[in-house]
A and B are shown apart, each in its own frame.
Chain A
């Protein structure tokens, strides 16, 4: 059994990162030129890492499945990015950001990692401004901020409702500069299908050229995985259609531990599901909760009238509205963290107060703000979001309250990494959403962008140097070695197997069915019987898939169905591991709500005595039960308490 050593440095919390940086090795400029690094993924984490490593002088190869690095799904992040600048003089600090993140994650993340994240957050804003990211400004020319869930200060920097896009364009610019300089080579429309290990260390990948369909080999001295999360296991989610967990899953199958797979985030403010033909859910930014109030009618009669179209939301008088977040959580109101807001909406809908025909929607209302500040105020802040809402629903959110419902958005779980962001495979690093380290059981809004860029710009480029310093005498990785032969053979085997099924049913049918199982039993509320049922149903569905899936056309051409089939084959396995992990964690924490474990007023009931650990799963072979390891979590610098957003 591999040791789970988090390698958290000694010393006081505030000095750990500084001391660690001073103690790790660096590689001289001359030697950097000799070393090669593969970065898979070009979202915020991947682009920023590849660009920074290129600037440092390493030879970098960066891979993306889209036609350009700029398409990565970080682009869709709307609301903002957190930093502890305290520009608003509201008593924010590195410690407060650290504390909010630990508390928001329901005490299931690693203190040292989170503190470091808060510590480098300020540098990220400086970097992005220098790159020309057009953050919102006040009239005096200084940066503006807004509030996000789980915080009582305004520390979120934003670029309208397109913050992710602007940050990604900044990182993409930095990446392009290195591509132009020749330090980075970019491989668009390439999908990583295998990790290659030589003597137990990550030394390369097998990728499929998505245009020609050919398999290609790439060698390096280290591999960095920045491939995002596995939220698309649920089929319907706010993730982009091509987001997938396959690259991470290949690493898991090669020996990288998978941590906290059951921690998936359900975002409270998404446009509700409208029908069976739907392929995708659209997020309405959390920033809207700065100015929007969430409610359902107090009486079931009003609910009925609204559903039947006899009454409009805007016509319900103030006294007949139940602003349930403000009622239940007076201290944070509409700005409670995502898991809390999602569950509260579900509770109201389960009680019969859902206000659309499916009974699965609540109102997000801007009327109070419009009355106070006028329509232009809303337009300048959220114009693009309102336009998007109108295009999708054909309703005018300036006149009628928005209808929203929770949806799968992000996965806090991911590849287990130590303080250096290295997985249990030497030389394999995981950054951004692909790792597990910073968000515990629930991620706070505007913290994903922060983490992706912290990992990519300021953490990985230092820590990977420590590993590579030991590799300066290493011979160039030979892509004609038996290890590469074998890896390519394994990929070819998987591809052949999927075409050999030659069934009748398209991939999407299975993916949708898997999504329904996941949402029903491994979604917002979970219990023992349901999770056991989920595992059983997933296994049955997987068997059906391998008997009846039809992948048209051939391998050696542009073939989107084949891409999907390979990814969905992995989603079955990921879904199963998520359910197993949810089953073993007999407590409620963050986004993981076990209905058996709740307080009398329906809040999460943690069990710190038995479950204050990271579950890290080790692959033991196809069809064999994986082994769970535990990394105990210690909290020395913040008091572990019940997560209270009431007072």
Chain B
């Protein structure tokens, strides 16, 4: 298969970016999107050019490192996958593919398609955990958890922190990301003790970092590669209200 590529190039966070056109030929339909970029970079390097920088690591959809905006969609046209599990068979032979980085003020571009997502870590550092030290905890089976809640918690905890929700949201909101963590922990008895503290700290931090608010358009849910539901945002709002009433 052959493709025309229109790729965002930007030397560093201070430089002005622009689109550049490339083409790749002889791509197997079973090649993944990132492998297609590997092939492009191989050509660029062999011809004395500068390869396109893009984030990637596990290439099996779990690390959350890959982050491309492809033809106007986070992680491209396939649903429930990250870019690394998107295959070229999903594209029409000979078509033009536009590739951009996540775009959000809290995710500045480092180079080309690579962005800085430290803002997510900061939100997690503010309170995305249960306050327990190592050691001195009770036997695991002394805390029964209903299977229903354990499964719901697991579904929320499947978030990989890639940032597709933020990149997609017209308000640039991080609510789906925050709600995944808040839900996962508040659904479990272990997470009840510090639930109020957690939700307030995470929301405050997100506000400080410039993430927007949620207006329930559900775009984030549509683009989430892990199928995180916005019912988690409802749970987040409930947790936040509960916490505020306690103030």
Which one, B57, B116, B145, contacts A242 given CB within 8 A?
Answer: B57
Complex Cα spacing A279 to B191, Å: 40
Determine if A165 is an interface residue (Cβ-Cβ < 8 Å): yes
Complex Cα spacing A386 to B210, Å: 38
Which one, A130, A159, A241, contacts B137 given CB within 8 A?
Answer: A130
Complex Cα spacing A173 to B49, Å: 41
Contact assessment for B51 and A561 in the assembled complex, using a CB-CB cutoff below 8 Å: yes
Complex Cα spacing A289 to B115, Å: 39
Most buried by B among A85, A87, A458, A553: A553
Contact assessment for A134 and B147 in the assembled complex, using a CB-CB cutoff below 8 Å: no
When distances are taken between beta carbons in the complex, the residues of chain B under 8 Å from A172 are 124
Once A141-B146, A177-B131, A275-B30 are accepted as A-B contacts, the answer to whether A506 and B41 lie under 8 Å apart by CB is yes
Complex Cα spacing A512 to B174, Å: 39
* Contact string against B for A residues 122-133, beta-carbon threshold 8 Å, 1 for contact and 0 otherwise: 010111111110
Determine if B190 is an interface residue (Cβ-Cβ < 8 Å): yes
Complex Cα spacing A186 to B118, Å: 11
* Contact string against B for A residues 162-178, beta-carbon threshold 8 Å, 1 for contact and 0 otherwise: 10011001001110110
When distances are taken between beta carbons in the complex, the residues of chain A under 8 Å from B150 are 134-137
Contact assessment for B134 and A557 in the assembled complex, using a CB-CB cutoff below 8 Å: no
Complex Cα spacing A458 to B50, Å: 46
Most buried by B among A48, A87, A141: A141
Residues of chain A in range 42-66 having any CB-CB distance to chain B below 8 Å: 48, 51-52, 55, 66
Contact assessment for B58 and A240 in the assembled complex, using a CB-CB cutoff below 8 Å: yes
The residue of chain B having its C-beta at the shortest distance from the C-beta of A280 within the complex is: B59
Complex Cα spacing A321 to B64, Å: 40
Which one, B32, B57, B120, B139, contacts A66 given CB within 8 A?
Answer: B57
B132 smallest CB distance to A (angstroms): 5
B192 smallest CB distance to A (angstroms): 10
Determine if A560 is an interface residue (Cβ-Cβ < 8 Å): yes
Contact assessment for A504 and B46 in the assembled complex, using a CB-CB cutoff below 8 Å: yes
State which of B79-87, B216-224, B233-241 sits at the interface with chain A. B79-87
Determine if A267 is an interface residue (Cβ-Cβ < 8 Å): no
Complex Cα spacing A70 to B184, Å: 16
Contact assessment for B144 and A550 in the assembled complex, using a CB-CB cutoff below 8 Å: no
State which of A11-19, A300-308, A387-395, A464-472 sits at the interface with chain B. A387-395
The residue of chain A having its C-beta at the shortest distance from the C-beta of B61 within the complex is: A388
Determine if B42 is an interface residue (Cβ-Cβ < 8 Å): yes
Residues of chain B in range 136-184 having any CB-CB distance to chain A below 8 Å: 137-141, 143-147, 150-151, 153-154, 157-158, 160-161, 184
Contact assessment for A76 and B53 in the assembled complex, using a CB-CB cutoff below 8 Å: no
Determine if B105 is an interface residue (Cβ-Cβ < 8 Å): no
The residue of chain B having its C-beta at the shortest distance from the C-beta of A174 within the complex is: B129
Contact assessment for B118 and A180 in the assembled complex, using a CB-CB cutoff below 8 Å: no
Contact assessment for B130 and A173 in the assembled complex, using a CB-CB cutoff below 8 Å: yes
Complex Cα spacing A68 to B125, Å: 12
B241 smallest CB distance to A (angstroms): 22
Complex Cα spacing A509 to B146, Å: 52
Residues of chain B in range 31-60 having any CB-CB distance to chain A below 8 Å: 31-32, 34-35, 38-39, 41-42, 44-46, 48-51, 53, 55-60
Determine if A494 is an interface residue (Cβ-Cβ < 8 Å): no
Contact assessment for A141 and B62 in the assembled complex, using a CB-CB cutoff below 8 Å: no
Contact assessment for B57 and A240 in the assembled complex, using a CB-CB cutoff below 8 Å: yes
Complex Cα spacing A87 to B63, Å: 31
Contact assessment for A66 and B147 in the assembled complex, using a CB-CB cutoff below 8 Å: no
When distances are taken between beta carbons in the complex, the residues of chain B under 8 Å from A457 are 134-135
Contact assessment for B140 and A129 in the assembled complex, using a CB-CB cutoff below 8 Å: yes
Complex Cα spacing A142 to B127, Å: 27
Complex Cα spacing A644 to B35, Å: 42
Determine if B111 is an interface residue (Cβ-Cβ < 8 Å): yes
Complex Cα spacing A129 to B185, Å: 11
The residue of chain B having its C-beta at the shortest distance from the C-beta of A509 within the complex is: B42
Complex Cα spacing A468 to B96, Å: 60
Complex Cα spacing A373 to B128, Å: 38
Determine if A508 is an interface residue (Cβ-Cβ < 8 Å): yes
Contact assessment for B139 and A126 in the assembled complex, using a CB-CB cutoff below 8 Å: yes
Contact assessment for A127 and B141 in the assembled complex, using a CB-CB cutoff below 8 Å: no
Contact assessment for B30 and A274 in the assembled complex, using a CB-CB cutoff below 8 Å: yes
When distances are taken between beta carbons in the complex, the residues of chain A under 8 Å from B140 are 85, 125-126, 128-129, 135, 143
Contact assessment for A241 and B59 in the assembled complex, using a CB-CB cutoff below 8 Å: yes
B198 smallest CB distance to A (angstroms): 10
Determine if B247 is an interface residue (Cβ-Cβ < 8 Å): no
The residue of chain A having its C-beta at the shortest distance from the C-beta of B82 within the complex is: A391
Contact assessment for B12 and A557 in the assembled complex, using a CB-CB cutoff below 8 Å: yes
Contact assessment for B154 and A71 in the assembled complex, using a CB-CB cutoff below 8 Å: no
Contact assessment for A137 and B45 in the assembled complex, using a CB-CB cutoff below 8 Å: no
Contact assessment for B42 and A70 in the assembled complex, using a CB-CB cutoff below 8 Å: no
A557 smallest CB distance to B (angstroms): 7
When distances are taken between beta carbons in the complex, the residues of chain A under 8 Å from B30 are 274-275, 277, 394
Complex Cα spacing A169 to B128, Å: 10
When distances are taken between beta carbons in the complex, the residues of chain B under 8 Å from A504 are 46
A559 smallest CB distance to B (angstroms): 8
Contact assessment for A132 and B191 in the assembled complex, using a CB-CB cutoff below 8 Å: yes
Which one, B32, B81, B110, B143, contacts A279 given CB within 8 A?
Answer: B32
Determine if A245 is an interface residue (Cβ-Cβ < 8 Å): no
Complex Cα spacing A159 to B150, Å: 9
Most buried by A among B135, B161, B190: B135
Residues of chain B in range 78-113 having any CB-CB distance to chain A below 8 Å: 78, 80-81, 85, 87, 89, 110-111
Given A123-B135, A159-B157, 11 extra CB contacts under 8 A: A75-B58, A134-B154, A159-B154, A162-B62, A173-B124, A240-B59, A275-B28, A282-B60, A552-B45, A553-B50, A558-B12
6 contacts between A and B (CB under 8 A): A131-B129, A131-B190, A132-B188, A391-B78, A461-B134, A508-B38
* Chain A residues in the interface with B (C-beta under 8 A): 48, 51-52, 55, 66-71, 73, 75-76, 85, 87, 123, 125-132, 134-143, 159-160, 162, 165-166, 169, 172-174, 176-177, 179-180, 186, 188, 211, 238, 240-242, 274-275, 277-280, 282-283, 384, 387-388, 391-392, 394, 457-458, 461, 504-506, 508-509, 550, 552-553, 557-558, 560-561
* Chain B residues in the interface with A (C-beta under 8 A): 11-12, 27-28, 30-32, 34-35, 38-39, 41-42, 44-46, 48-51, 53, 55-65, 78, 80-81, 85, 87, 89, 110-111, 114, 116-118, 120-121, 124-135, 137-141, 143-147, 150-151, 153-154, 157-158, 160-161, 184-185, 188, 190-191
